[in-house]
Amino acid sequence: MAKPNRHILVCASFRSSGAPQGVCARKGSQDLLAYLETELADRGMSDVAVTATGCMKVCDRGPALVVYPQNRWYGGIEGEAQVDAVLDALEAGSDASEYLLE
């Protein structure tokens, strides 16, 4: 596998005990992982990796994801439409400003 040019980190709310406890997990962030991987493949975006993370500490604005190396933090990513907006922006070289966390 070639080194990815971009990386999407998806908050899975896991705490040190290993249990998902936060907002992101309760709002289905795990389901977003499968959709992200499928959608990236469908779009031919093979240079983007996806990883589930521990709690990102933005529970009041989750589910959250971060795109690197752009360091764009997105919140309120609750379904396919929001994921599509982020991926559309990533493809266009811009931001999905309506979901950006400041």
Residue 18's pLDDT is 56
pTM above 0.85, yes or no: yes
What would the mean pLDDT of 88-94 be, rounded to a whole number? 95
4, 37 in Cβ contact below 8 A?
Answer: no
| pLDDT tens digits, one per residue of 20-63 | 567 788 788 888 989 999 999 999 999 999 999 988 888 888 89
Do 83 and 32 form a contact (C-beta atoms < 8 A)?
yes
The tokens 């907002």 sit on which residue? Answer: 23
Which sequence spans correspond to the domains of the chain?
A: 6-99
Arithmetic mean of pLDDT, 78-97: 95
pLDDT at residue number 1: 59
**pLDDT value at position 17?**
61
Which of 3.40.50.1000, 3.40.30.10, 3.20.20.20, 3.40.109.10 is the CATH number of 6-99?
A: 3.40.30.10
